[in-house]
Amino acid sequence: MKKKFLSVLLAGTMLMGLGAGCAKKQDSKKVGVAMPTKTLQRWNQDGDNMKKKLEAAGFQVDLQYADNDIPTQQNQIENMINGGCKVLVIASIDGSSLGTVLAAAQEKNIPVIAYDRLIMDTEAVSYYATFDNYQVGTIQGEYIRDQLQLDSTDGPYNIEIFTGDPGDNNARFFYGGAMDVLKPYIDQGKLVVKSGQVDFETVATADWSTENAQKRMDAIIAGQYADGTKLDAVLCSNDSTALGVANALEAAYTGEYPIITGQDCDIANVKNMINGKQSMSVFKDTRTLADQVVEMVKAIMEGKTAPTNDDSTYNNNKKVVPSFLCKPVFADATNYKELLVDSGYYTEDQLK
């Protein structure tokens, strides 16, 4: 009887050990993915793409959205660190808000991939995966330059400027890329910003909010364009701000629609492009970015150096962060079908 009891006890102990070993093995494949919010279409797509592709590669995924609340995101990341995640992929709400929580990741040797938004002021970030954000702005600026034929006409043309959240480091790259193209024409007087609102802090849009952009555009129309003055172009760094601008124009502007730029090819904005209410949107295929992040995670899990293609551009005030930059392209009413529908990014029904 005693022998039988010992035998059962030994078997149970072995099973428990095996179970713990399996759990440990599973935990060793666990990836934490922190996204800023569900209120913008693009982050839902990014999160879904990331989870599907990581799981297809054999990883366990803890995907969390923080509702644009910094303390919530900090708590979620802390839980990921304590919950056995071996790699963190983080799209930050505020790039400078994560230094303390990521110090705990660094202590546990957990690599951190900053996803599309550079994490600032910490040495704990290992890699950065994004699109070429300066190039996004350059594409938008060049589009306005070419559509207004600024190199062959005298103007003047009236333009207004909307960029993104001041806590999002990307917004400065978008703004910088576009303004490096457009500012010479502003200095020459070919482009006129009637509102006088040009510097980054003034044209930034908190939370990339459609509502905030619409309120500001409402005020600009009332102050500068209610008398019938023509508005020729609006530089918008992304689609949520472009949507706010378009909504304001539809409500109060009586002239011909200006050139409006955007980014992300959100469904509502692609519909506006089709209907002539937005001119273009920079397309960043999040499937490409997700694929690249999966490759980076794979390399890290295998103890290798993750693939990068830019090791000099992105300085987070503590270090130059090795980065992989995917290539953005622009979409408009002439090529959206090829880029978005034929590629399987959207169905035709979604854009009706």
Phi and psi, residue 258, nearest 5°: -75, 170
Q: Which of 219, 242, 231, 216 is nearest to 158 (CA)?
A: 231
CATH architecture of 133-284: 3-Layer(aba) Sandwich (3.40)
How deeply is 130 buried, as exposed, middle or buried, from its count of CB atoms within 10 A (0-12, 13-18, 19+)? buried
Q: Which residues contact 108 (CB under 8 A, 6 or more apart)?
A: 81
**Confidence bin at 42 (pLDDT 50/70/90):** confident
**pLDDT for position 79:** 97
Over residues 200-254, the pLDDT tens digits come to 999 999 999 999 999 999 999 999 999 999 999 999 999 999 999 999 999 999 8
CA distance 239 to 43: 13
**pLDDT for position 20:** 38
Share the mean pLDDT of the chain.
Answer: 91
How many Å is the maximal CA-CA distance in the chain? 102
Q: Which of 291, 283, 292, 290 is nearest to 338 (CA)?
A: 283
Over residues 324-337, the pLDDT tens digits come to 999 999 999 999 99
22-125+285-327 adopts what CATH topology?
Answer: Rossmann fold (3.40.50)
Q: Are 159 and 192 in contact (CB under 8 A)?
A: yes
Over residues 251-293, the pLDDT tens digits come to 999 888 999 999 999 999 999 999 999 999 999 998 899 899 9
Count of other CB atoms within 10 angstroms of residue 82: 10
Domain with CATH 3.40.50.2300 in the chain: 22-125+285-327, 133-284
Q: Which residues contact 180 (CB under 8 A, 6 or more apart)?
A: 137, 138, 141
Over residues 143-186, the pLDDT tens digits come to 999 999 999 999 999 999 999 999 888 999 999 999 999 999 99
